[in-house]
Amino acid sequence: MGTKVWASISLSMASRLVCCHLLLNHRASITIYADVTGPESATNAILLIYDIFGFFPQTIQGADILANSSETRKYRVFMPDFFEGKPADISWYPPSTKDHADSLNTFFSTKAAPPKTLSKIPGVIDEANKTAGHGFVKWAIVGHCWGGKIASLSAGKDNTTFKAAVQCHPAMVDPADATEVNVPMALLASKDEPAGDVAAYQANLKVPNHVETFSDQIHGWMAARSNLSDTHVQKEYERGYQTVLGFLEQYL
């Protein structure tokens, strides 16, 4: 409430990106860059998973809102570049040609295959914790679209890292995933997610939860596809982030 949201943003990504060198196993390592925002004094952190379109101004601004807008607490927000500078082309969605559909399908089955990203998250958390001395007290995970699927899977039965999870207009909503979730979960749906799947997902949750549909917003309204020059979209974008912050203040 009261957060100012700008319709257009100019950011120097170079000043915000930091490098994490991750050891995947004894023989292989990779370098992942992450957008990091929020006060260095923050004791709690958020792992923010972008949508398949990567670092967009609307998504980066969302990270800033999460980091700094709560009146009672601030967060250090880490948004890793899991696609290593080569995200999906936003012109592919919604697919208007067979080439677009094929490109999306290929991207989801290769770069965006969930196991590929899930395997990197422990290393990202380890590296991020090193920036906080003895580590952050608590972590939450927030995901947009494809990132929502990653958030849901990351909050499964083997989760010991995250204390709360949030999905914003999630892709690939699977009610079966909800049966494994072991921390409080929020799901903010748009008009485009299958309503039956969203309802079934909530019905299967065994944890405290908040599920809400923004019935006049499109898939992606809190991330890359948000048209912040539209006053109503801007208002719902802000309301979405304030809903996330309220949920995290309650459960993190």
- Residue range 32-40: mean pLDDT, rounded: 89
pLDDT at 248: 98
pLDDT at 15: 46
pLDDT of 10 higher than 80: no
Kindly indicate the confidence band of residue 29, based on its pLDDT and cuts at 50, 70 and 90. Answer: low
Per-domain boundaries in the chain: 13-251
Q: What is the mean pLDDT of the chain?
A: 90
- Residue range 178-187: mean pLDDT, rounded: 99
pLDDT of 102 higher than 80: yes
Kindly indicate the confidence band of residue 14, based on its pLDDT and cuts at 50, 70 and 90. Answer: very low
pLDDT at 13: 43
pLDDT at 75: 97
Task: Indicate the pairing of strand 17-23 with strand 185-190.
Answer: unpaired
pLDDT at 7: 36
pLDDT of 19 higher than 70: no
**Percent of all residues in the chain with a pLDDT value above 70, rounded to a whole number:** 88
Q: Do 240 and 168 touch, CB atoms closer than 8 A?
A: yes
**Span 13-251 CATH architecture:** 3-Layer(aba) Sandwich (3.40)
Amino acid letter at 19?
A: C
Kindly indicate the confidence band of residue 220, based on its pLDDT and cuts at 50, 70 and 90. Answer: very high
